A and B are shown apart, each in its own frame.
Chain A
């Protein structure tokens, strides 16, 4: 019996489990292969919807489904938290006390936010990286009657690189619609020397900041928040006063992978081969999605395009052959919608070798994102697109 254990029931883990179950169906029926997915929540959460709780009338209840309902029948689901990966014994230790043996391990544990790593973040800064925080931001925007709004990125890397830019653009549109634009300033701060990590996207976005009158502050690495003076201070020595502060919180990989010696502290990003998606040269351990250290967007679409490569790697090993076909290696493919406000959006499509060439923002790509959001649970985790 070959045992495949997948840690994490998000985009990457769920899709990997379902694709594996289909490719290895006969072997599962014969009792030669067993697939188990472990998820701490037992629920699959569509995180891109959080932004729309803050900016588009979305509701938290619509963004979550029981994980079991998304998994193909042959996949076993264990709802528990993995607390240790024992590589010597090839077992996963669960919080409930059980130990789960594996021959192949897929790490799809995503990442976590650590707002507490910046003093006063919790009480001063709004964000939209959990459903509750997004709703809090919505209320703060509803209560806003004019003043200075600062939107920024506290640290890199973080999930969904376009998200803070989108939020700045959407807030600016909203202020115009509500007749508050004249009474308000919108500032955007980026930790690096431009608006966005990828140069071509930065070139597309920078004029939009100018058009919308959003002041762009580059090389602004948040160092501290002064709640008395209501200013955010940068490591570079600048300070920006705010009435409403919206910051992407710092992110880290899961403590589990740090504690188990698979990912270095303090970041906790898994050292992942950019083509095979194997972790630290191990033949039987794979990673995908937000958990990796790959130089790519931490996006659901990244996990979506990585999953078939992890699956091919495992299926080939089970069948005793080399990975083959179009999913033999991962070439860095990512695709993200990008909202620019006023009912318009664009699309970022790229891979390791080809930077994105975003089309002129239009209504189609905005609608594309809305349709994608509405149909997500029927498509991506089930492997239908």
Chain B
């Protein structure tokens, strides 16, 4: 039996919103979503502490897919797939 490892989807666009404050990172993500196609994957980098709470809430409300949320050195990386 082979373990099937789900490969993370390739990031289409990276939005570097580090240094920007609420609601900057969310607004940057929204702009990227507007400009993307369904299926595209967007990575948002944010150093604002509110983003890791606010952005996943927005993703859920807007019906997209939260691929991952990783805390890195001084910032969070939130990966989203445009689902509709």
A interface with B by C-beta (< 8 Å)? 155-157, 191-193, 197, 219, 221, 223, 235-237, 293, 295
* CB–CB A221/B20 < 8 A: no
Residues on B with C-beta less than 8 A from A223 are 34
A193 to B21 Cα, complex, angstroms = 15
Q: Which of A155, A236, A295 is within 8 Å of B21, CB to CB?
A: A295
Q: B58 and A219: CB pair below 8 A?
A: yes
Closest partner residue, chain A, to B30 (CB atom): A221
Residues of B in contact, count (CB < 8 Å) = 17
Question: In the bound complex, do residue B27 and residue A219 qualify as a contact, i.e. CB atoms below 8 Å apart?
Answer: no
Q: Is the CB of A193 within 8 A of B54?
A: yes
B9 interface hit (Cβ, 8 Å) = no
Name the prevailing secondary structure of the A interface residues.
loop
Assembled-state Cα–Cα distance A197/B61 (Å):
18
Inter-chain contact B23/A219, CB cutoff 8 Å: no
Interface class of chain B by DSSP:
helix
Asked whether, in the complex, the Cβ of B24 is within 8 Å of the Cβ of A219, the reply is no
Q: B26 contacts the other chain (Cβ, under 8 Å)?
A: yes
Would you mind naming 20 contact pairs between A and B with Cβ atoms under 8 Å apart? A155-B27, A156-B23, A157-B27, A191-B23, A191-B30, A192-B23, A192-B26, A193-B57, A193-B58, A197-B22, A219-B58, A219-B61, A221-B30, A235-B33, A235-B34, A236-B62, A237-B62, A295-B20, A295-B22, A295-B24
A196–B13 alpha-carbon span in the complex (Å): 29
Kindly state the separation between the CA atoms of A230 and B58 in the bound complex, as whole angstroms.
25
Interface bits B17-60 vs A (CB < 8 Å: 1, else 0)? 00011111011001001100000000000000000001001100
A248 to chain B, nearest CB (A): 14
Selected from B27, B54, B63, the residue in CB contact (under 8 A) with A156 is B27
Contact of B20 with A235 in the complex, beta carbons under 8 Å: no
The residues of A that contact B27 with a CB separation of less than 8 Å are: 155-157, 191
- 6 more A-B contacts (CB under 8 A) besides A193-B58, A223-B34, A236-B62? A155-B27, A156-B27, A197-B23, A219-B61, A237-B63, A295-B20
A237→B20 CA distance, assembly (Å): 27
